[in-house]
Amino acid sequence: MSLSINTPLLESLPLGQRNNTRVWMKMEAMQPSGSFKMRGVGHACEYYAAQGAQRFISSSGGNAGLAVAYAGRKLGIPALIVVPETTSERARYLLGLEGAGVKVHGQSWAEAHEFALSVSTKDDAFIHPFDSPLLWEGHATLIDEVASDGVKPDAVILSVGGGGLLSGVCEGLQRNGLGHIPVFTAETEGMASFKAAHQAGYPVMLPALTGVATSLGARQVCQRAVEWSREMRIEPWTVSDQEAVDACLSFADDHRTLVEPACGAALALLYTQKLPLHEMNDVLVIVCGGSTTTLSALQQFTKSEK
CA distance linking residue 27 with residue 267, whole number of Å: 12
Task: With CA atoms as reference, report the closest residue to 149 among 128, 176, 181.
Answer: 176
Answer whether residue 260 shows pLDDT above 70. Answer: yes
Count Cα atoms within 13 angstroms, Cβ side, for 82: 24
pLDDT average, residue stretch 177-192 = 97
Structure confidence at residue 215 (pLDDT): 85
Region 183-211 average pLDDT: 95
Distance CA 298, CA 249 (A): 7
Q: Delimit the CATH 3.40.50.1100 region(s) of the chain.
A: 9-36+133-305, 38-127
Give, to the nearest 10 degrees, the angle between helix 133-148 and helix 164-175.
50
pTM (2 d.p.): 0.96
As a whole number, the mean pLDDT across the chain is 95
223-236: average pLDDT: 97
Answer whether residue 214 shows pLDDT above 90: no
Mean pLDDT of 110-118: 93
Q: What is the pLDDT of residue 306?
A: 59
Q: What is the DSSP letter of 7?
A: P
> CA-CA distance, 135 to 165, in Å (whole number)?
8
Q: Output the pLDDT for position 108.
A: 84
Instruction: Give the mean pLDDT of 155-166.
Output: 97
Query: Is the pLDDT at 291 greater than 70, yes or no?
Result: yes
Judge whether residue 222 has pLDDT over 70: yes
Tell which phi-psi region holds residue 33, choosing left (phi > 0), alpha (psi between -120 and 50) or beta. alpha
Report the sign of the C-alpha dihedral through residues 190, 221, 225, 287, in that order: negative
Q: Mean pLDDT over residues 105-117, rounded?
A: 91
Residue 62 backbone dihedrals phi, psi, to 5 degrees:
-120, -135
Is the pLDDT reported for residue 110 higher than 90? no
The pLDDT > 70 percentage for the chain reads: 99
Task: State the Cα–Cα distance between residues 156 and 283, nearest whole angstrom.
Answer: 6
**Up-side HSE of residue 154: CA atoms within 13 Å toward CB?**
12
Estimate the crossing angle of helix 37-50 against helix 133-148, to 10 degrees: 120
Beta bridge partners of 124: 55
Among 3.30.1280.10, 1.20.120.10, 3.40.50.1100, 3.40.50.300, name the CATH number for the domain at 38-127: 3.40.50.1100
pLDDT above 70 (res 228): yes
Distance CA 94, CA 64 (A): 12
Reference 226, options 180, 164, 281, 280; nearest CA is 164
Distances (CA, A) of 79 to 74, 156, 253, 270, 275: 11, 34, 36, 38, 41
- pLDDT per residue as tens digits for the range 33-92: 999 999 999 999 999 999 999 999 999 878 999 999 999 999 999 999 999 998 889 999
What pLDDT does 232 receive? 97
The 10s digit of each residue's pLDDT in 147-160 is 999 999 999 999 99
pLDDT of residue 296 exceeding 70: yes
Q: Are 262 and 215 in contact (CB under 8 A)?
A: yes
Q: Is the pLDDT of residue 137 over 70?
A: yes
The predicted model gives 2-17 an average pLDDT of: 97
Give the N- to C-terminal CA distance of the chain in Å, as an integer.
Answer: 48
CATH number, domain 9-36+133-305? 3.40.50.1100
